Amino acid sequence: MKQQAIKCAECGGTLEERTINHTQQWGEELYRFEDVPALVCAQCGHVWLAAEVSQRIDQIIREHPKPKAYQKVPVFSLLRTKAKGAGAGTT
């Protein structure tokens, strides 16, 4: 029996099972998770995480085990960063 496609609640597109990289902000900290099982809409790209996956991510952040690696992440403010060239990137 063929499994019925799950539809995206945002746009009605089809959700596909994928393994993604996921970033999660917790207070002032930003965490990156690899190999996260998710449903991703093939049409709009919206990502859906199962409750168990979200709970596991929260648990890891709270317990703070030693991570696989650390990465620096640059932070920009669009209000304070001028675009190069007149009208660049404006609509």
Question: For residue range 12-63, what is the model confidence (pLDDT) as tens digits?
Answer: 999 999 999 999 999 989 999 999 999 999 999 999 999 999 999 999 999 9
pTM over 0.85: no
Tokens of 3: 């499994």
Q: What angle do CA 54, 59, 64 make, to 5 degrees?
A: 130
Q: Which two tokens stand for residue 16?
A: 């596909």
What lies within 8 Å, CB to CB, of 89 at 6+ separation is: 83
Can you name the residues that pair with 17 across neighbouring β-strands? 39
